[in-house]
Structures are given as C-alpha cells and as structure tokens.
Amino acid sequence: MLSADFLNLGRDIEMVNNSEADWFHLDIMDGRFVPNISYGMSIISQMKKAAKKTFDVHLMIVEPEKYFEEFKKAGADILTVHYEASTHLHRSIQAIKALGMKAGVSLNPHTPVSVLEDVIADIDLVLIMSVNPGFGGQKFIQQALQKITKVKAMINAAGSNTLIEVDGGVTLENAPALVAAGCDALVAGNTVFSAPDPVEMIKKLKQVGK
C-alpha cells in the first residue's frame, strides 16, 4: 500500500478488495531503522475498516516488540519484524503468535538466510528484501533469487510450512523466476499501482507459475 494514492486511499483499497490479490501489504517505517517514515496506527485502523483481506504488516522499525499489541489492535493479521532489529528474535516470534497473529521475519539484502536456521520451524513467513528497505519503486537486487532457493531448502529440511514472501522491485518480468525459486507471496506495490489497469496487473501476477 506504500504505492497507493493516499488522497484516494478508500478507492485504492476498494480496488484491492475487488482484485485477485490475497493480502494487503503495509510497510511501517520509523525514520530510524530505515531512512524514511511512512504511516502509523491511526492510518492502519482506518484502512482496516474498508479492507476485506488479510493485513500483512511489515515492520521496518527499531524495537518492534514495543508495539505488537498496538498493531494487533490496529488490525494486523500477519506481523513481520526484521531480523536486524530484533535482539531477542525468538521471544518476539512467540509474543506475536501469543497475540493471535502469524509471525514473519524479514531479512535485509546483506543478511544471510543461515541466521534463520534455529527459528525457521517457529515462523509462519520469511520475507526476503530484494531492495534496501525504506522506499517504494526501487530496482530488484538479483541475489534475492539465490536466497529464496536457500530458504526454500531450509524450510523443506525442517518439514515446516513457512511461506516465502519477496518484497521490492517485483515486476511481471522477474515474477516467474521468483515463483520458480519457491516464492509463495509477491509484494508488488509500484508494479500494481503504476499500471494503467491495476486489477489486470494483479490478475497477470496471479497467473505466474500456474
């Protein structure tokens, strides 16, 4: 939703409701973990009133554990923290699940997937950043592909059903390779919202790999 038109947010939410998209992806930035500030609780709560699909909330903030309850109240269904922002990652994962949300962990482009080995069976989602987090509309970093392949192998070895999501620079051109590598969810803000027909673009993305 970072690429939505915030002066026409209701209209853009309705578009997603009426499309084949499965989730709303919300990027929360604090101006500390990333060099940008996006939006907070009041906007999320407002959006939740109009949205009819799963809220996938991606926290790009320091000390995310301070706000788990508030994000639950605002409407988060899936709550993803960054590995790089979590000193006590295992505790955070348990806390998110105890509040009744699905727990996700995100990795910046420089963070190897091996850091997830001891928590992979505990998490519902791995979010691979394919750009440096902070801004929409950036170019896809190719190494993300190998990371997805590695995470997929780790998930299979653990016998877990953790989902893999990729975020940043996803287009209709690179989507087939991402899905082939094992991606379950594609975040495609700019690709969708800058398309002449966003509903049609979502439909095309959903057809990838089918």
Q: Which of 58, 82, 147, 152 touches Zn ion by CB under 5 A?
A: 58
For the question of residue 30 being annotated catalytic, the response is no
Catalytic residue among 12, 27, 56, 124: 27
DSSP state of 207: H
Tell me if 167 sits within 8 A of 56, measured CB to CB: no
User: Which residue carries 């896809």 as its tokens?
Assistant: 140
Q: Which of 30, 124, 165, 167 touches Zn ion by CB under 5 A?
A: 167
Give the Cα separation of 151 and 197 in Å (integer): 33
Per CB under 5 A, the segment of 20-28, 44-52, 111-119, 145-153 that binds Zn ion is: 20-28
Q: According to the binding rule CB under 5 A, does residue 30 interact with Zn ion?
A: no
For the question of residue 22 being annotated catalytic, the response is no
Could you please report the per-residue DSSP string of 67-85? GHHHHHHHT-SEEEEEGGG
Per CB under 5 A, the segment of 19-27, 36-44, 87-95, 154-162 that binds Zn ion is: 19-27
Q: Which of 13, 15, 16, 27 touches Zn ion by CB under 5 A?
A: 27
Nearest to 67 by CA among 116, 33, 36: 33
| Total chain residues near Zn ion (CB under 5 A) | 3
Nearest to 68 by CA among 124, 123, 28: 28
Looking at the Cβ atoms of 12 and 167, the one nearer to Zn ion is 167
Instruction: List the catalytic residues.
Output: 27, 167
